[in-house]
Amino acid sequence: MPDPAIEIENLTKEYPFGFLHLKKRTSLEGLSMQVEMGDVFGFIGPNGAGKSTTIKLLMGLIFPTAGSARILGKPISDVEMHGDIGYLPEQPYFYDYLTAAEVLDYFARFHDLTAADRKDRVDRMLRKVGLETARKIQLRKYSKGMLQRVGLAQAILHDPKVVILDEPMSGLDPVGRREVRDIILELKKDGKTVMFSTHILSDAETLCDRVGVIVGGKLRGVGAPGTLVDMKTLGMEILFELTGTANVPLLSKATRTGDCYRLQVPEEELYAAIEQLRGAGAHILSVSQVKATLEEFFMNLVEADRAQGAAVEVSGQ
Q: How far is the CB of 165 from other proteins (least distance, A)?
A: 11
Q: How far is the CB of 85 from other proteins (least distance, A)?
A: 7
- When asked if residue 137 is in the footprint of other proteins (CB under 8 A), the reply is no
The dihedrals phi and psi of 113, each to the nearest 5 degrees, come to -120, 145
Window contacting other proteins (CB under 8 A); options: 56-64, 129-137, 175-183, 278-286? 56-64
Of 171, 166, 165, 122, residue with least CA distance to 143: 171
Applying CB under 8 A, what is the total number of residues that bind other proteins?
28
Sites for other proteins among residues 58-117 (CB under 8 A): 59-63, 79-83, 85, 87, 89, 91-95, 97-98, 106-107, 109-111
Q: Which is nearer to other proteins, 56 or 177 (CB)?
A: 56
Residues 144-203 touching other proteins, rule: CB under 8 A, are: 151, 154
- DSSP H or E stretch at residue 52: helix 51-58
**CA distances (Å), 127 to each of 83, 115, 254, in order?**
23, 19, 49
46 binds other proteins (CB under 8 A): no
Return the ∠ at Cα 287 (arms to 283 and 291), rounded to 5°. Answer: 150
Q: Is the CB of 81 or the CB of 254 nearer to other proteins?
A: 81
For residues 157 and 213, which CB has a smaller minimum distance to other proteins in the complex?
157
Nearer to other proteins, 107 or 298 (CB): 107
Beta strands in 242-316 (DSSP E): 255-257, 260-265, 283-291
Nearer to other proteins, 30 or 60 (CB): 60
Is 43 an interacting residue with respect to other proteins (CB under 8 A)? no
Nearest partner of 41 among 198, 230, 227, 220, judged by Cα:
198
Q: Which is nearer to other proteins, 51 or 220 (CB)?
A: 51
Out of 28, 54, 56, 222, the residue judged to bind other proteins by CB under 8 A: 56
Q: Nearest-CA neighbor of 122 among 102, 95, 139?
A: 102
The residue among 96 and 182 lying less far from other proteins, judged by its C-beta, is: 96
> Least distance to other proteins from the beta carbon of 102, Å?
8
| Own/partner pairs, 241-244, CB within 8 angstroms, 24+ separation | 241/282, 241/283, 241/285, 242/277, 242/280, 242/281, 242/282, 242/283, 243/281, 244/281
Binding footprint of other proteins on the chain (CB under 8 A):
56, 59-63, 79-83, 85, 87, 89, 91-95, 97-98, 106-107, 109-111, 151, 154
